Chain A
Amino acid sequence: DAKTTQPPSMDCAEGRAANLPCNHSTISGNEYVYWYRQIHSQGPQYIIHGLKNNETNEMASLIITEDRKSSTLILPHATLRDTAVYYCIVRVANFGNEKLTFGTGTRLTIIP
């Protein structure tokens, strides 16, 4: 699976959009980008995933560059409850490869 690079920490003001970058310059054509987050003392939580098109759900939007070498997770209106560690994961999605490899992630702090 391709390696990802994320900033170790970020701050964002409450109510503003939080934009979390992820670099995955070695991604291959059949690898998806997944985002999870882990709120303190809880298990990780799935947020969103995508292959090459931008994706949006009730939690966030995922913007993947045209060359797929980087992506951005967007939390449109950050709240204090969005303070968490956010993990960007790249992996091939096929049966027999159910593994998720978590890196160190980005610690996002929402400031009141």
Chain B
Amino acid sequence: DAGVIQSPRHEVTEMGQEVTLRCKPISGHNSLFWYRQTMMRGLELLIYFNNNVPIDDSGMPEDRFSAKMPNASFSTLKIQPSEPRDSAVYFCASSLTGEAYEQYFGPGTRLTVT
């Protein structure tokens, strides 16, 4: 298996622009997680889905952030409009429900907003 796939790996954008991050979970996994990592705040869970349904989005910082999972093999995290403080590494992870202790992380997307 190719593991969790994220794209793009790097994104540089200007403040105010829309940013879309993409994730393909491991085939057969039915839980998907979006995390953000910064030096100041560490690794934070933003939202997670189970069977394509958002279960907990309490970590989503504000209305500028939205996440969707239209099917079992694809999810997006969108920031509109982006701000410099959104600069971070965004990780996607997937797991089997009931085995969420073993989350498999993707390589991350490094986002820089100027």
Point out residues on A near B: beta carbons under 8 Å: 32, 34, 38, 41-46, 49, 93, 95-96, 98-104
Contact = CB atoms under 8 A, between A and B. Distances in A.
A95 B97 contact: yes
11 contacts: A38-B43, A41-B108, A42-B105, A42-B108, A43-B91, A43-B93, A46-B102, A46-B103, A100-B33, A102-B43, A103-B42
Contacts, number: 55
Q: What interface size band does chain B fall in?
A: 20 to 34
A104 B41 CA distance: 9
Query: Chain A: interface secondary structure?
Result: loop
B56 interface: yes
Given A42-B107, A43-B91, A43-B93, A98 B100 contact: yes
A32 B101 contact: yes
Contacts of B100: 93, 98-100
A43 B70 CA distance: 24
Q: Which residue of B43, B91, B100 has the most chain A CB atoms within 10 A of its CB atom?
A: B43
Contacts of A32: 101
A43 B106 contact: yes
Interface of B: 4, 31, 33, 42-45, 48, 50, 55-56, 91, 93, 95, 97-98, 100-108
A34 B100 CA distance: 11
A38 B50 CA distance: 24
Contacts of B43: 38, 44, 102
B101 A43 contact: no
Contacts of B103: 44, 46, 100
Nearest to A42: B107
Contacts of A104: 42
B31 A44 contact: no
A98 B42 contact: no
A57 to B, nearest CB: 11
A60 to B, nearest CB: 14
Contacts of B107: 42-43
